[in-house]
Structure 1
Amino acid sequence: MEVVCVIIFTIEYLLRIYAAERRFKFLFSFYGMIDFLAILPFYLAIGVDLRSLRALRFLRLFRIFKLVRYNKALNHFSRAIKSAKEQIFLFIFITVLLIYFAAIGIYYFESKAQPEHFSSIFDSLWWAIITLTTVGYGDVYPITVGGKVFTSFILMIGLGIVAIPTGIISSALTHSIEDPHEPDENGDEVQEGK
């Protein structure tokens, strides 16, 4: 069964290359790379003993991504992420800075009271990540008054960290759904019927 699927995928891939107006651009586009990675493990296994390279089997999972092209909702989501990528990158940068500053702050408040959990700023990063992402496993928590007050502020900031990207992406997604005739990654207009 796998051989039949790979043959169908290979024929489809070659036909897409043949039919593409800009073949080189298609080869290195997102969908072109997905198509290539979906068939690559099969052809590698023919000429190479992959027992030592079993990790390459995960490339077979790229076949699932071929279905993305046909899903209208995922295309809207993809366009939304592309349109909001600058805001998302800025948000990620600010989040990394906040995690670092939270680790520094909790280290100074808790390092003397709990040296086994907060022995360095690097060790405090675990607490900062789980607190700012509002996961809060409860395995490491502050016991000093200053640490508890500091944690309260960090938890409030953590709520914003969860809410901000949700708002950015949902706004971009709404815009993508309302304006379906924006160009896709190949520069072609996306039609509603496609």
Structure 2
Amino acid sequence: MKEKIKSIVEINDNKPSRYFAFFIQALILVSIITFSVETIPNLKPQTKTILYIIEIFSVSVFTLEYLLRIYVADSKPKFVFSFFGIIDFLAILPFYLSFGIDLRSLRALRFLRLFRILKLVRYNRAMNHFTRAIKSAKEEILLFVFITLILIYFAAVGIYYFENEAQPEHFTSIFDSLWWAIITLTTVGYGDVYPITVGGKVFTFLILMIGLGIVAIPTGIISSALTKSIDKKETE
């Protein structure tokens, strides 16, 4: 019985498994749609009741799926603390916590239901390639993140010393300057905080040039790893 359930629950090349995967994917999409509909103001009581019934049904199925995956897992702790295990758990957690939490916190709690959309990753081959690419390039990505954090801090310190006296209301401290550093290095530039001194403008130009390179680096790392992942899959 356990092996039969495993062949259905896990992704396999048989009809029951494909039907199960399609059903779960469809239910995830329905759940996401109902989550969006709930935000519409002045919904009729009948509509709210229908949405709640759909939510109960969805959570029941997702809970059963989660328990079955634990049941058929070769290593139960490994599955529970795996990426997909955590996603499956977070997908159902808000519903059960909503029974014992203050209503004022319920709005923030519902946000966790968005984790259901990540359940689709399990059934998407392209996303599986992407996941493998991220894993293979994790050391390069971690190095990039570390260097980026250093550059953000360096940019915050630099702009603070250039602009603090001219704009003390915007660049009160290095911590306040971090916001400018982030939006400048990422080349977003919202325009809410900008330099007015000559030194600050020159420094901003240099940071923008560095920011252009920062945006390109992770794209190159991930695209290279993704290409290797696809080539490796095709040769298997």
Cα distance in structure 2, aligned partners of 1:36 and 1:13: 7
**Offset from partner CA, 1:81-114 (integer Å, 9 cap, x none):** 1111111111111111111111222222222333
Partner of 2:103: 51
CA distance in 1, matches of 2:125, 2:116: 18
> 5+ residue gaps in structure 2?
1-53
Query: How does 1:53-68 map onto structure 2 within 5 Å?
Result: 53-54=105-106, 55-68=108-121
Equivalent of 1:94, from 142, 147, 153? 147
Q: Identify the residue that residue 164 of structure 2 maps to in structure 1.
A: 111
User: d(CA) in 1 for partners of 2:68 and 2:92?
Assistant: 14
Q: As a proportion of its length, which structure holds more helix?
A: 2
CA separation of 1:151 and 1:7: change in aligned 2, threshold 3 A? closer
Q: Report the equivalent of 1:33.
A: 86
List runs of 5+ in structure 1 lacking aligned partners.
183-190
Q: 1:79 matched to which residue of 2?
A: 132
Instruction: Give the Cα–Cα distance (whole angstroms) in 1 for the partners of residues 161 and 210 of structure 2.
Output: 19
Return closer, same or farther for 1:132/1:39 CA change in 2, 3 Å cut-off: closer
1:151 matched to 2:204: yes
Q: Secondary structure at the match of 1:101?
A: helix
Q: Deviations over 1:98-148 (max 9, x none)?
A: 111112222222223333333332232222222111111223322322222
Secondary structure at the counterpart of residue 180 of structure 1: helix
TM-score, length basis structure 1: 0.80
TM-score by structure 2 length? 0.67
CA distance in 2: counterparts of 1:91 and 1:2, whole angstroms: 41
> Which residue identity lines up with residue 161 of structure 1 in the other structure?
I
Q: Secondary structure at the match of 1:116?
A: coil
Seen in structure 2, the aligned counterparts of structure 1 residues 25 and 114 have a Cα distance that, compared at 3 Å, is closer
For residue 52 of structure 1, report the CA deviation from its aligned partner. 5.7
RMSD: 2.5
Give 2:176's aligned residue: 123
Counterpart code for 1:51: L
Q: Aligned equivalents of 2:178 and 2:133: distance in 1? A: 31
Render the CA deviation track for 1:26-74: whole Å, top value 9, x for unaligned. Answer: 222121222223233444456x466365143333333322221001111
1:168 CA drift (Å) = 1.0
Q: Distance in 2 between matches of 1:139 and 1:31?
A: 39
C-alpha distance in structure 2 between counterparts of 1:3 and 1:40, whole Å: 13
Any idea what the Cα deviations from partners look like across 1:150-178, whole Å, max 9, x if unmatched? 22211110111111111111111111111
Number of equivalenced pairs: 182
Aligned partners of 1:29 and 1:59: how far apart in 2? 18
1:167 lines up with 2:220 in the alignment: yes
How far apart are the structure 1 equivalents of 2:98 and 2:193?
Answer: 47
